[in-house]
C-alpha cells in the first residue's frame, strides 16, 4: 500500500503536522485550528 500522506490542510491549505493525525482520528484532512473552528469531534 502506497503511503504518501501530506500534511496540507484542505481548509486553509497550510501545512501542519496535525493534519495527518486528524485524518486518521477524525477522517478529515484538516489542521487543528480548522478542526476546532468546525467543531469536529470524534464520535
- Draw the binding track, 6-35, toward Zn ion (x: CB under 5 A; -: no contact): ---x-xx------------------x--x-
| 8 and 15 Cβ atoms separated by less than 8 Å | yes
Q: Which is nearer to Zn ion, 36 or 43 (CB)?
A: 36
Q: Which is nearer to Zn ion, 1 or 18 (CB)?
A: 18
| 9 and 22 Cβ atoms separated by less than 8 Å | no
Please give the residue ranges that form the binding site for Zn ion (CB under 5 A).
9, 11-12, 31, 34
Amino acid at each position: 500500500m502506497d503511503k504518501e500522506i501530506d500534511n496540507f490542510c484542505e481548509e486553509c491549505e497550510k501545512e501542519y503536522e496535525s493534519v495527518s493525525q486528524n485524518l486518521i482520528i477524525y477522517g478529515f484532512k484538516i489542521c487543528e485550528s480548522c478542526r476546532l473552528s468546525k467543531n469536529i469531534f470524534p464520535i
